[in-house]
Amino acid sequence: MFGLISIILAVFIGGWWMISSMGAVYDETGLKVDTSTEEILDLSREAAEKIAESASGSQPVPVYDGITIPSHAREVNLSGRGLTGSLKAEIRLLSELRELNISNNNFTGLPAEIGQLSELRVLNLSNNPITGLPHELGNLSKLEVLNLKGTNYSEFDLNVIKEKLSASVQVVTE
C-alpha cells in the first residue's frame, strides 16, 4: 500500500513540477503542446488513477453505457436507475460477483454471459419488463436467490433454468 501511495504522490509531484517549471507539456516527439494548468492536472490525475488500478489488479468493467464496475466487485446495485435494454456481455468479467441487483429498472433482457458469474449467489431482477430469461442462468451453481417478482418472465424459460439449478435455490415470483 505504501508503494502505491508513493507512486501516486510521485505522479502528482511530477504534474506540479511541469506546471510550475515549464508550464507546458511535450508530446512523444518532443514537440511542445499548449496545455492549460487544469489540463495538466487532469492528465496527472488520470495517470495516477491508471497506476492505482493496475497496482490493485482491478480494471473497470463496462457493464452498461456510462457505468463501469471494478473487476473485483462482490456486490453491484444498479436498482432504480431507469436503465433500459440489457446489461453488456462484459458483465461476465466480474468473476468475484456474489450479488447483482438490477431491480426497478426497465431492462427487457439479460445477456447470456450472466451465466458465467460462477460466484453469484443473489440475482435480483424484480420489477423489470423482462420477458425472456437466458437459459445460461442454470449454470449459476452457487445461486441461492433468484428474484423475478414483477417481471414478465417466460414459464418455459424458468422451467429450463430450474432443471439445471440446485433444488435449494429460492425462486421468488410473487
CA distance 39 to 31: 17
**Quick one: average pLDDT of 120-133?**
96
Give the helix/strand (H/E) hosting 124: strand 122-124
CA distance 125 to 109: 10
Residue 131 confidence class, pLDDT cut points 50, 70, 90: confident
**CA distances for 23 relative to 20, 41, 173, angstroms:** 6, 11, 62
**Quick one: average pLDDT of 79-100?**
97
Please give the residue that has the higher pLDDT: either 26 or 72. 72
Residue 167 backbone class (left: φ over 0; alpha: ψ -120 to 50; beta: rest): alpha
CA distance 160 to 125: 17
Domain 60-172 has CATH 3.80.10.10: yes
Specify the range with the lowest mean pLDDT, choosing from 13-22, 89-98, 139-148, 163-172. 13-22
Helices 37-56, 2-17: axis angle to 10 degrees equals 160
Q: What's residue 67's pLDDT?
A: 96
List the domain boundaries for the chain.
2-56, 60-172
Whether pTM exceeds 0.85: no
Mean of the per-residue pLDDT values of the chain? 83
Cβ neighbours of residue 96 under 8 Å, at least 6 residues apart? 71, 72, 73, 74, 119
62 pLDDT above the threshold of 60: yes
7 pLDDT above the threshold of 80: no
Cα–Cα nearest to 47, from 2, 3, 19, 14 = 14
Please state, as a whole number, how many other Cβ atoms lie within 10 Å of the Cβ of residue 46: 11
**Quick one: average pLDDT of 84-94?**
97
Q: What is the pLDDT of residues 94-114, one digit of tens each?
A: 999 999 999 999 999 999 999
**Quick one: average pLDDT of 65-82?**
96
Cβ neighbours of residue 159 under 8 Å, at least 6 residues apart? none
